[in-house]
Chains A and B, each alone.
Chain A
């Protein structure tokens, strides 16, 4: 059994003189869902990118651990699944080609049955060979979930996970958050009440403005 943990110590982020948030500290050491809420511009996306190791905080530290051992930043991408509206996949490739290249670049085996099952779950199986540029925004959003989950990550970061999705797509995402939270640490940043309904704890960024 592998134990993963996500620790945030006194996180602060400023853009020039503008303080976005400060003093964020928490420790997630078992599977579950952490929600991040706050109004537009409160720093939800910034915080989730810092937690995913994509951006650096101005002050403070984020530590991802695997069985008590810190995961180094060069390897963190193998443990992370990330979905957001500003994530863009390669439009010139088909969904299948995109996912195949991601597996190759990560140097993991391309689990065809798992990818097909995810494509089926997100209703993209019969469009898997179409170029991504021909997809609607909702289909692109669903493909991002497959990208985030294909390597069974320990940490899943979802920034506005239901944007561009229809009701059926939203329900699939809620079911997915529920099932993934049993084995992974899931962080959801959203303003939608329904998106945060499955969270064990919600961090409201209004309280971290000093």
Chain B
């Protein structure tokens, strides 16, 4: 309930300030346009479109998800949050906000991508759906935790992708593999190992986040 109230506050604040939405929307448009222009009339393999799909998702996430904590730190309202909520409430509220943002962002990316790339044809929809759900959850959890870490640092802008890359790499690589499987129409029974990696990643990241957030949030 408290976390939901914090999410409501962030959502209301986002509607008024447009801290994250504008940068995310611009990045999605720019990233997809650049890929389209660079491909031109070339024929690319369906597997490559799956890889490029996750490249757009990764960099879009980098451009907008850090705002959850960075905006509080930049405006000086972190202290106010510390005075009204426990660390667990703050993390859950911010995670909920980033989760909604990631899903909205990636639904838009998927729709645009399907319309603009003829080679991006999914054969196994259920596998793609599961990859999409667990992949997005992993991105939201990791991005929220990394955002909390870098919010206290001086050079936030450069630190975020640098720190995110090694942490998100196992998730992105496995998600690329699973997307490739779903494009090739491989059944779920043959992709259980990769799916298990993504689910385990999510579980490990959420557990680590709640264990570490107290130390990150307080000085």
Interface SS of chain A: helix, strand, loop or mixed? Answer: loop
Q: Which of A55, A90, A91, A101 contacts B8 (CB 8 A)?
A: A101
B77 cross-chain contacts in A, Cβ below 8 A: 88-90
Tell me how far the C-beta of A89 lies from the nearest C-beta in chain B, rounded to whole angstroms: 6
Q: Are the C-beta atoms of A77 and B86 separated by less than 8 Å? A: yes
Which chain A positions have C-beta within 8 A of B75?
Answer: 88, 90-91
Q: Is the CB of B5 within 8 A of A87?
A: no
Per-position 1/0 for B1-19, Cβ under 8 A of A? 1100110110011001100
When the two chains form their complex, are residues B84 and A105 in contact, meaning their CB atoms are under 8 A apart?
A: yes
Contact A101 B9 (CB under 8 A): yes
Q: Which residues of B contact A82 (CB under 8 A)?
A: 79, 83
Task: Give Cα A54 to B1, complex, Å.
Answer: 23
Instruction: Flag whether B89 is at the interface (Cβ < 8 A).
Output: yes
Encoded as 1 (CB less than 8 Å from any A CB) or 0, chain B from 208 to 219 comes to 000000000011
Residue A104 CB within 8 A of the other chain? yes
Tally chain B residues at the interface, Cβ within 8 Å.
26
B13 CB contact (under 8 Å) in A74, A75, A77, A90: A90
In the docked arrangement, what's the CA distance between A76 and B67, Å?
A: 27
B135-183 contacts to A, CB under 8 A, are none
Q: Would you give the shortest CB distance from A39 to chain B, in whole angstroms?
A: 23
Contact of B185 with A by CB under 8 A:
no
Complex: chain B residue closest to A88, CB-CB: B76
CA gap between A89 and B84 in the complex, in Å: 12
B2:A107 contact, CB within 8 angstroms:
yes
**Is there an interface contact between B84 and A74, defined as CB atoms closer than 8 Å?**
no
Contact at A105–B76, with CB atoms within 8 Å? no
B76 near A93 (CB under 8 angstroms)? no
A89/B80 contact (C-beta < 8 A), A101-B8, A107-B5 known = yes
Tell me whether B1 and A80 are in contact (CB under 8 A).
Answer: no
Interface bits A81-119 vs B (CB < 8 Å: 1, else 0): 010001111111100010001101111000000000000
Indicate whether B88 reaches chain A with its CB closer than 8 angstroms. Answer: yes
Cβ–Cβ contact B12 & A93, under 8 A? yes
Whether A77 and B83, one on each chain, are in contact in the complex, defined by CB atoms closer than 8 angstroms, is yes
Task: Check B9–A74 contact: CB distance below 8 A.
Answer: no
Given known contacts A92-B17, A93-B12, A101-B5, A55 and B218 CB-to-CB distance under 8 angstroms: yes
Contact of B87 with A by CB under 8 A: yes
B187 to chain A, nearest CB (A): 46
CB proximity of B60 to chain A, nearest CB, Å: 24
Are A93 and B13 CB-contacts (below 8 A) given A74-B86, A107-B2?
A: yes
The docked-state distance in angstroms from the alpha carbon of A86 to that of B6 is 21
B61-102 CB contacts (< 8 Å) to partner A: 75-77, 79-80, 82-89, 93
In the complex, are the beta carbons of B219 and A87 less than 8 A apart?
A: no
Q: Cβ of A56 < 8 Å from any Cβ of B? A: yes
How far apart are the CA atoms of A157 and B218 in the complex, in Å?
A: 18
CB distance from A106 to the nearest CB of B (A): 5
Residue of A nearest to B7 (CB): A105
B76 touches A86 (CB 8 A): yes
Q: How far is the CA of A91 from the CA of B6 in the complex (A)?
A: 16
**Shortest beta-carbon contacts, A-B, top 9:** A104-B5, A88-B76, A92-B16, A74-B86, A101-B9, A105-B5, A107-B2, A105-B84, A55-B219
Question: Could you name 10 residue pairs across A and B whose Cβ atoms are closer than 8 Å?
Answer: A74-B88, A77-B84, A82-B83, A86-B76, A88-B79, A88-B80, A91-B75, A92-B16, A97-B12, A106-B85
> Which residues of chain A have a CB within 8 Å of any CB of chain B?
52, 54-56, 74-75, 77, 80, 82, 86-93, 97, 101-102, 104-107, 147
Contacts beyond the supplied A52-B83, A93-B13, A105-B9: 18 A-B pairs with Cβ under 8 Å:
A54-B82, A55-B219, A56-B219, A74-B86, A80-B83, A86-B79, A87-B83, A88-B77, A89-B77, A89-B80, A90-B9, A90-B77, A90-B80, A101-B5, A104-B9, A105-B2, A105-B6, A107-B2
